């Protein structure tokens, strides 16, 4: 206990040195805390984008669709979508369903051609699946307006609207390949412009009512996929298993494949790659932060060589000197780490609401990452930063103190 009291007094005795040491530890802890929160936000963002726009928590498709997806195989479809949706409504784990038709087409305007990615959705059912009003940039969603005549309402991505110089009220005629590999065209009138969180969607995608797209593509009440979200508390694998049992009576059940989003090969590979990248970045910053902490502690110890010699000359045992400096390092590193973590939390909390805008940095990037990232605090990683920083600084003091304490007191007292 006496050594703890002495260690505490030593910290206050040279306030400038202690403040510099505390600042270095706090800065390293702050940086690592912020980085972990940022990476956590990126992981949550990717998962959210994949579930909302690509895979759902569970995806139902024709078993061969993914093998030929690049060729837009509309004939490999989920037949009698209404019946499938009716069955899904009886599954306890299912909270929302989104039947979709993903297709491609071309628009010829002003002697130029534009490749578009169309998405036929049921806007009413989509309200339960995801809130599209949050990404509505200008105008209205197709289900909120009534367009007279033969033109079909549609909402286009912001980047696509800029590229084709389109505004709400404008129209375009799309030429698409039907399910039977013929050609058909339809004129769409823009009711709204969407600001998708993923840049690649913004530049190519438009959304239109599912019945109109089925007519355009001659899909006869079928869809290319059905995305499903489960109630909170159910794992995607559990939801998929229940869906598989419920769909035994569905049309062409033997041709359907029901997959949890984290077991879809393309998604899994991307998540694995992203996880490796994030872990590498986290490790790099941990090492970088450790070097700052270690360098600060070691330099502080060597600056106090004469003090260590004085303590030895006064009769303090080597093990007591080591413990004294260990306690000092532990106290300073804990206080510095705690301050840095709290400051990091103070920075992350407002950013978790306002987000970090990466629009310019993400330009041209096709990954499923939003242009705005919202950092998320993770209790385990935050505590890890506090414990790790304290541990590193405490251990870093042991080796130099042990080495100096072995030097004869006379030699140590001669140190400048």
**DSSP string across 259-280:** EEGGG-HHHHHHHHHHHHHHHH
How far is it, in rounded angstroms, from Cα 188 to Cα 167?
Answer: 12
Residues paired with 61 in a beta bridge: 225, 257
If you ran DSSP here, which 8-state letter would residue 78 be given?
B
The pLDDT assigned to 366 comes to 55
- pLDDT, average across residues 320-344: 81
Question: Can you list the positions of beta strands (E) in 30-84?
Answer: 58-62
Kindly tell me if the per-residue pLDDT of 214 is higher than 90.
yes
Which of residues 162 and 391 earns the better pLDDT score? 162
Residue in the block written with tokens 């106090």? 304
What length is written for the chain? 416
Residue in the block written with tokens 């590498």? 280
Task: Give the pLDDT band of residue 188 (cuts 50, 70, 90).
Answer: very high
The pLDDT assigned to 132 comes to 92
How far is it, in rounded angstroms, from Cα 150 to Cα 212?
Answer: 11
How far is it, in rounded angstroms, from Cα 204 to Cα 11?
Answer: 61
For 105-134, letters b (16+ CB in 10 Å) and e give bebeeeeeebebbbbbbbbeebeebbebee
The pLDDT assigned to 212 comes to 92
- pLDDT, average across residues 148-166: 87
Kindly tell me if the per-residue pLDDT of 31 is higher than 60.
yes
pLDDT in tens, 52-78: 988 999 999 999 998 888 888 999 999
The pLDDT assigned to 30 comes to 86
Give the lowest-confidence range in 26-40, 99-113, 211-225: 26-40
pLDDT in tens, 383-396: 887 887 777 777 77
pLDDT in tens, 266-305: 655 666 666 677 667 666 766 766 676 666 666 666 666 6
The pLDDT assigned to 32 comes to 82
Compute the half-sphere exposure of residue 152: CA atoms within 13 Å on the CB side of its CA: 20
pLDDT in tens, 83-127: 999 999 999 999 999 999 999 999 998 888 999 999 999 999 999
If you ran DSSP here, which 8-state letter would residue 370 be given?
B
Three-class secondary structure of residue 407 per DSSP: coil
For 226, 249, 290, the CA distances from 245, given in Å and listed in that order, are 16, 9, 52
Which H or E run contains 390? helix 379-405
If you ran DSSP here, which 8-state letter would residue 62 be given?
E
Which of residues 180 and 26 earns the better pLDDT score? 180
Structure tokens at 268: 């899994």
* CB proximity list for 206: less than 8 A, separation 6 or greater: 116, 117, 118, 119, 154, 155, 156, 157, 160, 188
């Amino acid at each position: 206990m006496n050594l703890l009291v002495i260690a505490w007094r030593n910290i206050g005795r040279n306030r400038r040195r202690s403040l510099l040491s505390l600042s270095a530890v706090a800065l390293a802890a702050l940086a690592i805390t912020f980085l972990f929160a940022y990476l956590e936000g990126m992981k949550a963002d990717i998962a959210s984008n994949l579930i909302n726009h690509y895979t759902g928590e569970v995806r139902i498709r024709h078993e061969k669709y993914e093998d030929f997806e690049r060729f837009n195989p509309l004939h490999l479809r989920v037949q009698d979508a209404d019946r499938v949706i009716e069955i899904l409504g009886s599954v306890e784990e299912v909270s929302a369903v989104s039947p979709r038709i993903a297709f491609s087409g071309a628009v010829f305007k002003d002697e130029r051609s534009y490749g578009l990615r169309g998405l036929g959705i049921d806007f009413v059912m989509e309200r339960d699946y995801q809130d599209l009003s949050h990404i509505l940039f200008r105008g209205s969603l197709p289900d909120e307006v009534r367009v007279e005549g033969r033109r079909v309402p549609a909402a286009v991505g912001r980047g696509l609207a800029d590229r084709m110089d389109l505004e709400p009220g404008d129209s375009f005629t799309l030429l698409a390949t039907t399910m039977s590999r013929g050609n058909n065209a339809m004129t769409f009138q823009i009711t709204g412009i969407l600001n998708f969180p993923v840049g690649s969607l913004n530049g190519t995608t438009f959304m239109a009512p599912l019945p109109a797209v089925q007519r355009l593509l001659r899909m006869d009440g079928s869809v290319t996929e059905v995305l499903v979200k489960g109630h909170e508390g159910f794992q995607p694998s559990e939801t998929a298993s229940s869906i598989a049992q419920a769909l035994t009576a569905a049309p062409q059940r033997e041709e359907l494949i029901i997959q949890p989003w984290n077991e879809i090969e393309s998604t899994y590979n991307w998540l694995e790659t992203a996880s490796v990248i994030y872990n590498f970045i986290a490790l790099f910053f941990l090492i970088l932060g450790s070097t700052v902490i270690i360098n600060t502690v070691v330099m502080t110890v060597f600056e106090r060589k004469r003090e260590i010699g004085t303590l030895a000359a006064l009769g303090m045992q080597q093990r007591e000197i080591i413990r004294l400096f260990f306690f000092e390092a532990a106290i300073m590193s804990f206080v510095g780490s705690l301050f840095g973590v709290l400051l990091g939390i103070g920075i992350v909390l407002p950013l978790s609401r306002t987000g970090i805008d990466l629009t310019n940095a993400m330009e041209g990037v096709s990954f499923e990452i939003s242009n705005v990232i919202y950092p998320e605090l993770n209790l385990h990683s935050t505590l890890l930063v506090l414990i790790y920083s304290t541990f590193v600084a405490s251990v870093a003091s042991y080796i130099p103190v042990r080495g100096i304490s072995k030097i004869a007191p006379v030699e140590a007292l001669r140190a400048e």
